[in-house]
Amino acid sequence: MKKSILTRYFFVVLLLTLAGIAVVVKAGVIMFAEQGYWKEVADRFVREGVPVKPSRGNILSADGKLMASSLPEYRIYMDFKVGGDSLMRHLDEVCKGLNRIFPDYSAARFKARLKAGYRKRSRNYLIYPKRISYIQYKEVKRLPVFRLNKYKGGFHELAYNRRKKPFGSLAERTLGDVYADAAQGAKNGLEMSFDSLLKGKEGVTHRQKVMDKYLNIVDKPPVDGCDIVTTLDVDMQDICEKALMDKLKEIEAVWGVAVLMEVKTGDVKAIVNLSRGADGSYRERQNLAISALMEPGSTFKTASVMVALEDGKITPHTTVDTGNGVMMMHGSAMRDHNWHRGGYGVIDVTRIVEVSSNIGVSYLIDQNYKDDPQRFIDGLKRMSLDVPLRLQVPGAGKPYIKDADDPTFWRTSLPWMSIGYEVQLPPINVLTFYNAIANDGCMVKPRFVTRAVRDGETVEEFPVEVINPKICSDKTLDEIRVILQRVVSHGLAKPAGSKQFSVSGKTGTAQVAQAGGYKTGRRNHLVSFCGYFPSEAPRYSCIVSIQIDRGIPSGGGMAGSVFGRIAERVYAKDLRLNLANAIDSTTNVMPAVKAGNVDETLQVLAELDIPIQQDLLKEKTFAANVVPNVVGMGAKDAVYLLESRGLKVKVSGVGKVRRQSIAAGSRLVKGQTVRIMMNE
């Protein structure tokens, strides 16, 4: 009896031990081998504190055009443990559908790929290796099995937000970039500066069972990012990029920048940064307009002359004997660009700036400030040339103007600083200085963003910031503005000018230091032109800077010609003619009238009660055996008149007839074809 009890006890203990081992083994399988599966099952029923990503805000141009926006992209996966068998039954149909949506992968390739995933019984198998658009994703979701929810069909996706720029490379470096998934944040440009506004705030949800269904309950809704409104004008940006690109290709330059600014506000309407790649093509790689610390060269002469004018050391009529174009200064030769042609001789300050005489400017500054060079440097700083701009775009370079007590300040430093060497300024800082001259002496900070908006409501505004309310006296300002206008009309900057309006500005050419010095025979130069237009009532300022490594440098011919193209096209785009300003209240203005049959015209003018002289609208008469003159007529009258003479007519364009292929007065041959070209 005792033995029977022990036997039964042994079997009970053994059974419990085996059960315990089974529980431990099963727990281990669940914890490790099936961890992902059971976690997903748990997620179906209860999930707490699930973050909900907000939509990143857009970047808009000044007139509301979309310059950067986030669009969804997806990677698509298959859980073969959930829907593998169903997928295999529809494999041919699914693979044909995938091939139709993604033609770069054949149906056979998709079939082999999906079979491989099925054999592995993969739970997270990538169906197609590339990211797909929202439209492609919706098409995939219509395929058999894939149209089911992920807990039945096994098809699931991973969503990303990718940043898109509808205008391609326009202002690419200024707008900036974000990481592959826009939700991860920004890398550079406006995207990074305004990341806190653009990215928005995450929301929170949890999963809860409601009436036998599991719903995502929103605890805290996400707050989408703000849209930021920039100062950029897409059309002006395109004008600047096209003008600069053409010149860079023509002269095979290393890089070039162009910045267009609105004078009163400092609003940057266009900013272009183009660098030459290894393949010879040009694209935006760095924001050199704000970051490139370069010796500005002769564009700096304007500041030097202004300091001397302001201090009363010189007047526009002060003369300098520049001799034969070579002058020794503290043991070093200062040369004018035309020294090999004999120099300029005796010239006054206005002419010195017009022809950009190195000797003229450096002699004046050295003679007047050599005993107190810090006074000259203080004059430059008084005009805020050394002030960091702290722009809304990251990466701005800090201006460098050394003081007289600097260990590197030599006897030659003063004359060479006066012509733009031994100082360093980014192009946008030079532009800010010239913009202040155009803006009646008020220096404003360049602005890239005016406001942040959400759902049409302004969240934050970024007003115009004044750096220096008055960089110099009105007297100095008037004198230098006259001189800068003459630089374009009578000096080296004629290519920057226009026949339609006046332009003011200054050329610049500087040799680029390499490996600690200026190498003889090297052709690395920075050529620039900085100015504003129209001269009498400046509206826009602009700088063009180009670095070249071949050819003969010319600030006017290279950078100035780009400025001229930009100025003319921007001026034409911005031109608004108000007819009311051209007439008085007693004037009756007759609308434009095309030549031809004037009976209907006379009737309309009579109804409008517009008095006219009848002889101004005499109808033309033509001999029967010659081709009539239809220039100036509308299409209807021109075609009627020509066809009534037996001619065939082909019309191109709209508006008035500008030209006809068979000259008026020619002998008429019936059946001939005459082409008439129209324009507005």
Higher pLDDT, 91 or 519: 91
Together in a domain, 523 and 624? no
Q: What pLDDT, on the 0 to 100 scale, is given for residue 581?
A: 46
Together in a domain, 225 and 238? no
Together in a domain, 621 and 529? no
Whether 139 is covered by a domain: the verdict is no
Q: Computed from CA positions of residues 211, 213, 214, 217, in that sequence, does the dihedral angle turn out positive or negative?
A: negative
Helix, coil or strand: residue 48: coil
Q: What pLDDT, on the 0 to 100 scale, is given for residue 644?
A: 76
Whether 457 is covered by a domain: the verdict is yes
Residue closest to 395 by CA, chosen among 177, 179, 188, 169: 188
Residue 537: is its pLDDT beyond 90?
yes
Domain of residue 638 covers: 599-679
The per-residue pLDDT of the chain, averaged, comes to 85
Together in a domain, 359 and 243? yes
What tens digit of pLDDT does each residue of 434-487 get? Answer: 999 999 999 999 999 999 998 888 999 999 999 999 999 999 999 999 999 999
Q: What pLDDT, on the 0 to 100 scale, is given for residue 594?
A: 55
Together in a domain, 336 and 466? yes
Together in a domain, 193 and 246? no
**What average pLDDT does this structure show over 225-251?**
94
Together in a domain, 209 and 315? no
DSSP string, 658-674: EEESS-TTSBP-TT-EE
Whether 611 is covered by a domain: the verdict is yes
Distance, in Å, from the CA atom of 303 to the CA atom of 411, rounded to the nearest integer, reads 20
Number of domains making up the chain: 3
**Residue 212 CB neighbour total at 10 angstroms:** 5
Together in a domain, 427 and 465? yes
List the CATH number of the domain containing 213. Answer: 3.90.1310.10
Whether 594 is covered by a domain: the verdict is no
Q: Is 261 left (phi over 0), alpha (psi -120 to 50) or beta?
A: beta
Q: Is 553 left (phi over 0), alpha (psi -120 to 50) or beta?
A: beta
List the CATH number of the domain containing 668. Answer: 3.30.10.20
Q: Amino acid identity of 169?
A: S
Higher pLDDT, 35 or 199: 199
Together in a domain, 513 and 387? yes
Helices (H) and strands (E) in the chain, counts: 21, 28
Least confident of 3-7, 193-197, 204-208: 3-7
Q: What pLDDT, on the 0 to 100 scale, is given for residue 215?
A: 65
Higher pLDDT, 590 or 56: 56
Least confident of 20-34, 168-182, 255-269: 20-34
Residues 299 and 430: beta-carbon distance below 8 Å:
yes
Q: What pLDDT, on the 0 to 100 scale, is given for residue 586?
A: 47
Distance, in Å, from the CA atom of 626 to the CA atom of 662, rounded to the nearest integer, reads 10
List the CATH number of the domain containing 469. Answer: 3.40.710.10
What tens digit of pLDDT does each residue of 378-435 get? Answer: 999 999 999 999 999 999 999 999 999 999 999 999 999 999 999 999 999 999 999 9
What tens digit of pLDDT does each residue of 615-659 get? Answer: 444 445 556 677 888 888 877 777 777 877 778 777 766 667 877
Task: Return the structure tokens found at 250.
Answer: 């023509």
Q: Is 408 left (phi over 0), alpha (psi -120 to 50) or beta?
A: alpha
Residue closest to 535 by CA, chosen among 505, 568, 575, 571: 505
Higher pLDDT, 498 or 605: 498
Task: Give the 3-state secondary structure percentages of the chain, helix then strand then coil, rounded to 5.
Answer: 35, 25, 40
Distance, in Å, from the CA atom of 438 to the CA atom of 262, rounded to the nearest integer, reads 10
| 530-to-298, 542, 625 alpha-carbon distances in Å | 10, 6, 61
Within 8 A by CB and 6+ apart from 504, the residues are 438, 481, 484, 485, 487, 488, 531, 532, 533, 535, 538
Helix, coil or strand: residue 475: helix
Whether 396 is covered by a domain: the verdict is yes
